[in-house]
Amino acid sequence: MENQVLGKTVENKQIIFKSYIEGIPKETDMELKIVKELNLEKVSKGSNGLLVKNLYLSCDPFMRGRMRDFTGSYLPPFVPGEVIEGFGVSKVLDSDNPDFKPGDIISGFTGWEEYSLVYNTDQMRKVQADDMPLSYHVGLLGMPGFTAYAGFYEVCKPKRGDYVLVSAASGAVGQLVGQLAKLYGCYVVGSAGTKQKVDILKDRLGFDGAFNYKEEADLDKALRRHFPEGIDIYFDNVGGSMLDAALLNMKIHGRIALCGMVSQQSLSNPQGIHNLLQLITKRVKMQGFLQSDYLHLFPRFLEDITSLYKQGKITYLEDMNEGLESAPAALVGLFSGQNTGKKVIRVAHH
Amino acid sequence: MENQVLGKTVENKQIIFKSYIEGIPKETDMELKIVKELNLEKVSKGSNGLLVKNLYLSCDPFMRGRMRDFTGSYLPPFVPGEVIEGFGVSKVLDSDNPDFKPGDIISGFTGWEEYSLVYNTDQMRKVQADDMPLSYHVGLLGMPGFTAYAGFYEVCKPKRGDYVLVSAASGAVGQLVGQLAKLYGCYVVGSAGTKQKVDILKDRLGFDGAFNYKEEADLDKALRRHFPEGIDIYFDNVGGSMLDAALLNMKIHGRIALCGMVSQQSLSNPQGIHNLLQLITKRVKMQGFLQSDYLHLFPRFLEDITSLYKQGKITYLEDMNEGLESAPAALVGLFSGQNTGKKVIRVAHH
């Protein structure tokens, strides 16, 4: 029983955020710290908090945005010298919160460490016992999956037969967008950064077409080849040159959903986009969005996607590393496309 | 009676488009031609056409887009050596079209010349006898006014109390956007390029604030000064640096309507926009539009705006030149902001 550890003194490994950065994150921007004697006392009365054991931690591109000293965004920056925060799946050891009890599996924001004291439980969800793998709750059934779901249905407003482009298409969000678009009756082409990923898009995820953007000298030409009639929906996960090329290939009344812009997250002076005049001549709607604005749809999402997955109608690619120590390299790897599918760290076997 | 000219031989002055251009239009890109002996015969039977005498011609920024050799836009390019085409108000001299009869006043596409044979009458409207000045039908009651109306209500989706920025705010479109926004209960600030225009915005058009963008070293700072709480709606008539600065100042769930981008129309390599990441963090919708997609609203627009004007609730600034010969300079002047209000050429007194 997990509860047997309560009151004991254990070691707690942590990943510490060192200091604010410029450019692409490096492993040395984080460091492993071992708190030798963490006293696993009960959560104090009246704190409304939880003591949890972290099982899975999620590596997400948005975390780069919290590594700079900028408070004007939708999440506060990390605190230098403190544990990195991210989405995770955890097991409750002790609870002062009436919504959660010891033994519950939960998903939401937690620390990059073995054990966490969690006080902000507003967005914490209890994971219902099920035969879906627990790690899926930071991917297919968590924030990235819900981003794909809300972005595709609510922002892209698809129509059957639409021509759909997805960038970073094998990533945590892109892989689900493409498959939902196929199920909706769209024609779907994905871009990715290796031959292996391109093959996966076509062979395992059922995309109609796919290309390696690193091998295309002219992205506009590549898009014209894949979309001779133009693009109705561009689900943008990268920004930059791909967005500029997509703008040149939009159809009249097309829609662009902006999600993440991973290529621009690390630039202090982001790349200029030159083809916005196309938004006028083609009457295109371009919309940035965050999944957190659509949380009322979360229960329906969970039901829909779980059902599609169990029917074998969608595939989920997960790329898991073992051990908290591997987390910094895994996070850094996102920004050079090292991962194939959703990047997750297994911290402990439950 | 106008019909007395039918069958006669008259002189027809024309403004000819010389050849495709790069950069900002110059007067020498057009030339005056006098057709010495235009035989004002009746329109041939079965042509469905009209013979018209042009009264007012409209100078509009979108015409720049037709001066380049590019067929992929929403209107075909001008034909070198042929008469320039634009919006106008004309009087029907002869008609083979059952919808129009001699003596009717019409508005729609016509030629930059004294007399025109018009065969494409699909979008031609009959101007109802009224006490509104006829020239208003290429401005307040025509394409620019309708652009403001459709763009503000249908694209910007205003709410009472919204903070609204309008660029090129004393222009044909901007002046009406700002006044509609005030009538809707919004807080409205306009940008313009001279002190005189800024004074007009505040003193005559009732804007809450206005500034001369040419005197602001830092547009971001200027916007922060005028919108300490941020911008809900940016009605963009210019693109470029103003758009980039507005992006930095949008409020959450803000809306940007892209209309014309006059600063970018003449550039073969348009200026890069660097702050699109803001669309995501602030969940902003940016939409390009053309008034022609909303024509079902035109009758309501005409009724609403005519009524508001007659009640003295809106002001209309028109900048009129006399004589067809003045048209090239008037069109060119749009691109350096020479006009104050809607630029119109009076070709003939009716």
Q: How many CB pairs under 8 A join A and B?
A: 103
Would you call A270 and B269 a contact, using CB atoms and an 8 Å cutoff? no
- φ and ψ of A88, to 5 deg: -155, 170
Q: Name the residue with tokens 């910007």.
A: B156
pLDDT at B2 over 60: no
SS3 letters for A53-109?
Answer: EEEEEECCHHHHHHHCCCCCCCCCCCCCCCECEEEEEEEEEEECCCCCCCCCEEEEE
Domain ranges of chain B: 2-138+317-346, 143-292
Distance from CA of B253 to the nearest CA of A (A): 9
A-facing residues of B in 75-134 (CB < 8 A) are none
Q: Does B241 touch chain A (CB under 8 A)?
A: no
> Is the Cβ of A228 closer than 8 Å to some Cβ of chain B?
no
Cα B191 to chain centroid, rounded: 17
Whether A325 and chain B come into contact, CB under 8 Å, resolves to: no
Beta bridge partners of A13: A34
Alpha carbon distance A293, A295 (integer Å): 6
Measured CA to CA, the distance from residue A243 to residue A262 in angstroms comes to 12
Q: Half-sphere exposure of residue B98, counting CA atoms within 13 Å on the CB side?
A: 1
Please name the member of B65, B253, B286 whose beta carbon is closest to the beta carbon of A279: B286
Q: What is the mean pLDDT of residues B174-192?
A: 98
pLDDT in tens, B281-293: 999 999 999 999 9
Q: What is the pLDDT of residue A265?
A: 63
- What pLDDT was estimated at residue A38? 76
Residues β-bridged to residue A31:
A16
Q: Which residues in chain A touch residue B270, judged by CB atoms under 8 angstroms apart?
A: 274-277
Query: Is A287 close to B279, i.e. CB distance below 8 A?
Result: yes
A257 contacts on B by Cβ (under 8 Å): none
For A200, the enclosing helix (H) or strand (E) is: helix A195-203
Return the percent helix, strand and coil in chain A, to nearest 5: 30, 30, 40
Question: By the 8 A CB rule, do B342 and B172 touch?
Answer: yes
Identity of the residue numbered A324: L
Does residue A67 contact residue A21 with C-beta atoms inside 8 Å?
Answer: yes
Question: Could you report the per-residue pLDDT of A113-156, keeping only the tens digit for each?
Answer: 999 999 988 889 999 888 899 999 999 999 999 999 999 999 99
Mean pLDDT computed over A233-238: 96
Q: Contact, B124 vs B279, CB < 8 A?
A: no
Interface test with A, best of B249, B252, B281 (most A CBs within 10 A): B281
Q: Which of residues 41-80 of B touch A (CB under 8 A)?
A: 65, 72-74
**Are B272 and A275 within 8 A, CB to CB?**
no
Chain B residues with CB inside 8 Å of A72's CB?
Answer: 281
To which residue do tokens 């793998």 refer? A133
Q: What is the largest CA-CA distance in chain B?
A: 67
When pLDDT is cut at 50, 70 and 90, the band that residue B334 belongs to is very high
What percent of chain A stands above pLDDT 90?
A: 83
CATH of region A143-292, choose from 3.40.190.10, 3.40.50.450, 1.10.3720.10, 3.40.50.720:
3.40.50.720
Query: What are A122-127's contacts with CB under 8 Å, separation 24+?
Result: A124/A50, A124/A99, A124/A100, A126/A99, A126/A100, A127/A89
- Closest approach of chain A CAs to the CA of B72, in angstroms? 9
Higher pLDDT, A120 or A8: A120
Report the Cα–Cα distance between both ends of chain A, in Å, rounded: 11
pLDDT, mean over chain A: 93
- B27 pLDDT exceeds 90? yes
Q: What is the spatial distance between Cα A79 and Cα A16, in angstroms, rounded to a whole number? A: 9
Distances (CA, A) of A349 to A33, A143, B95: 21, 22, 85
Fold for domain B2-138+317-346?
Quinone Oxidoreductase; Chain A, domain 1 (3.90.180)
Interface check for B276 against chain A (CB to CB < 8 A): the answer is yes
Name every chain B residue with its beta carbon within 8 A of the beta carbon of A285: 285-287
Query: What's the complex ipTM?
Result: 0.90
What are A104-116's pLDDT values in tens digits? 999 999 999 999 9
Task: Tell me the C-alpha to C-alpha distance, in Å, between residue A302 and each of A56, A140, A169, B230.
Answer: 19, 9, 21, 35
pLDDT at B1: 43
Amino acid at A221: K
A293: which chain B residues are within 8 Å (Cβ-Cβ)? 253, 283
Q: Taking CB atoms and an 8 Å limit, are B286 and A280 in contact across chains?
A: no
Sequence-distant (≥ 6) Cβ neighbours of residue B32 within 8 angstroms? B13, B14, B15, B16, B324, B325, B328
Please enumerate in sequence order all residues whose Cβ is within 8 A of that of B59, keeping only pairs 6 or more positions apart, or say none.
B86, B327, B330, B331, B333, B334, B339, B343, B344, B345
Average pLDDT rounded to a whole number, residues B245-266: 88
Q: Per-residue pLDDT tens for A206-217?
A: 999 999 999 999
Find, in chain B, the residue whose alpha carbon is nearest to that of A294: B283
Residue B315 sits at the chain A interface (C-beta within 8 Å): no
The alpha carbon torsion through A226, A232, A234, A235 (nearest 10 deg) reads -120
Residue bearing the bigger pLDDT, B108 or B35 = B108
- B111–chain A nearest CA distance, Å: 23
Give me B183's structure tokens. 């009538």
Evaluate if residue A169 carries a pLDDT over 50: yes
A258 → closest Cβ in B270, B272, B280 = B280
- Per-residue model confidence as pLDDT tens digits over A295-312: 999 999 999 999 999 999
Joined together, the tokens standing for residue A66 give 């919290």
Are B255 and B231 in contact by the 8 Å Cβ rule? The answer is: no
Identity of the residue numbered B205: L
Q: Is the pLDDT of residue A271 over 90?
A: no
Q: What is the pLDDT of residue A1?
A: 43
B8 pLDDT exceeds 70? yes
Tell me which of A35-49, A95-109, A330-344, B80-94 is least confident.
Answer: A35-49
